[in-house]
Amino acid sequence: MPTPLGAPLRADFPFFQAHPRTAYLDTGATSQRPETVIAAEADFVRHDYAAVHRGSSMSTGEATSVFETARERVASFIGAGEREIVWTQGATDALNMIALGIGDASVGLGGDRFALRAGDEIVVTEAEHHANLIPWQRLAARTGAVLKWARVDERGLWTIEGIREQVTGRTRLIAFAHVSNVTGQIAPVADVVAIARSVGALTVLDACQSVPHMPIDVAALGVDFAAFSAHKMLGPNGIGVLYGRAELLDELPPARTGGSMIKVVTMEEATFLPAPNRFEAGTQPVSQVVGFSAAIDYLERLGMDQVAAHEHEIGQALVEAVVRIPGVRLVGPAEGEPRGALVSVTVDGVHAHDVGQFLDDRGITVRTGHHCAQPLHRALGTPSSTRASAGVYSTRDDVAAFGAALAEVRAFFGADR
């Protein structure tokens, strides 16, 4: 019988034992961790910690086995091959690794298929997180490529027609989020991939807000690269994943160089190992990888179909809670339309930071600010918004508390007069 989500899960999370009355609605920024994840990482550090892929000792071999087994777990979780999973410092790091690798290819450091020339095009959307925008800005500046973007409408949404309008025969790469961290918009991935393939362009998917919340099969999606982070899916900080199709990773120049990722080094040059090792220079975050694997174990025990169903219910409840409040504007898809398990709102006459403080005083944790998406907020005509985002432990009671408190904000600040 499936494990009930929401309130029954809270006993698994030490945070909720310490803060039993907190409505934690900031999972989009970072998720809470179950005790099993914390214990897995701590137990490894206490009993089995050693360097990986270095030396021939028994301890090194055992640690390496754990390290590589975790890679297999992540690969299986997203429908990838184990050689297609690269450990990174996080999703931001993963996206930068792609951009830096393409930049190196563009100046003759290997990977000719990735080389950009002046006048080539990179296409993004106006809704992107800065981590999926600034690397492409810098890549365009270094190579002479042109950065183009699909614009958002008054709700913060972009369309597949907007993507299609920006794509030409010179387009070499399209980068976009699977689920927007601000609007909750769910991208039509298959349509974007089809457009990219029609002109021979690569696709890069920011999957930070999708992999933790719904079943994902990267092979079925057809994207060339994807990035996501453990800390948004019940795991540790400082560890993330770059997914890439194996044949692409084997040709992409590594963004970082050093020990453990080389075949041969002379005083004049170096050659690199196949993927994924070619991207994993230096000492690896072994204990974080162990915690990441435990987080995936936890999610798989719940079942990702059940996770998606629970969070869809909570997401729609969040929408219902805010659309009936006078003076509160919902950003993103309208009530009843598909969206991720988050809502962002603006409140007439009250700055988002004040909204957030008011909610925090009432035990409701949300995110305020521009959410690392300034161009999107500029298009919306506001410097910031207030975001509530759900996870497997979120409940209808959390939503009710959020809605009730949000309804009091304008009166408290005198903005309803």
Q: Which residues are catalytic?
A: 372
Cα–Cα dist 223/194, whole Å: 10
Q: Where are the alpha helices (DSSP H) in 255-340?
A: 286-302, 304-323
Helix, strand, coil percentages for the chain (3-state, nearest 5) = 45, 15, 40
Helices and strands (DSSP H and E) totals, the chain: 15, 15
Q: Which amino acid is at 329?
A: R
Cα–Cα dist 98/120, whole Å: 17
> Contact, 380 vs 6, CB < 8 A?
no
DSSP state of 187: P
Cα–Cα dist 390/395, whole Å: 8
Cα–Cα dist 212/220, whole Å: 17
CA 128 to centroid of chain Cα atoms: 11
Cα–Cα dist 395/381, whole Å: 32
Cα–Cα dist 89/260, whole Å: 17
